[in-house]
Amino acid sequence: MGVLVGKKAPSFSAGAVINGGEIVEGFSLDQYIGKNPVVLFFYPKDFTFVCPSELHAFQAKLAEFEARGAKVVACSTDTEESHWGWLQVPKNKGGIEGITYPIVADTTKTISDAYGVLAGEYEYNDEMEMVATGPMIAYRGLFLIDKAGIVMHQLVNNFPLGRNVDEALRMVDALQFFEENGEVCPANWQKGDDGMKASFDGVADYLASH
C-alpha cells in the first residue's frame, strides 16, 4: 500500500447510491474539485456488524461536515444493488436506513486498489489458475482530500478496528485552519486553539498552489 498524502487523489467514475436510495451511474469525486473538501472512507462489506456503526456515526455528524463545506462519501466493493438493499433495512435490524451521503459501488475493485486499501491481490498458481491471495475487499481506509483534489490525510485500519468520526472532523478543521491562516496545527489541536507559525518551504508551496 502506497502513501497518497501530497498526491492527487485517484479519479474514478462508478455507480453509487445517493440521497438514501437513488442509484446513479458515473459518480465521481471530480464534481467537488474547486468547491469542497471530501472525506472519502472505505468499509469492508455491506450487511456486516462493525460497518453499520461507522456509517451511522458519519451520518450523525453529517451536518457538522456540511457546515464546514465538506462532503462525505463512502465506498465498498459491493454492488449498487447491495447498497440499496442495505439502505432499506432499519438501523435496529442491522441496516443503514437513513444514510443520505453517497455510497460508491467499487464492484471492479479498481477504486480500492487505486487508493491502496484492497485486501489481497490476484495471482496465478502453479496450475496457471487465477487465485485471490486475500478477501479482495477494502480495509477501513479514510482519505481527506482538499478542494484542489490533493490527499491531505489518510488513515487505514484493519477490519476489526472501527474509526473515530470526531477525529475525521478534527482533521477537516485542521485543514481549513491551515488554509485560512497559513499556520500549522500542533499535536491534539482542536478547533479554536492557536496554531503555530510554519518554518518549512512545503507550507508556502502548498498555499501558493491554492
> Which residue numbers are catalytic?
51
Report helix, strand or coil for 5: coil
Q: If 0-12 CB within 10 Å is exposed, 13-18 middle and 19+ buried, where does residue 52 land?
A: buried
Are residues 39 and 48 in contact, defined by beta-carbon separation less than 8 angstroms?
A: no
Closest CA to 132 of 143, 124, 140, 141: 124
The DSSP code for 9 is P
3-state secondary structure 22-71: EEEEEECHHHHCCCCCEEEEECCCCCCCHHHHHHHHHHHCHHHHHHCCCE
Identify the H or E element spanning 124: strand 122-124
Radius of gyration of the chain (CA): 18
Crossing angle of helices 50-60 and 165-181, rounded to 10°: 40
Identify the H or E element spanning 83: helix 80-87
Closest CA to 142 of 177, 161, 168: 168
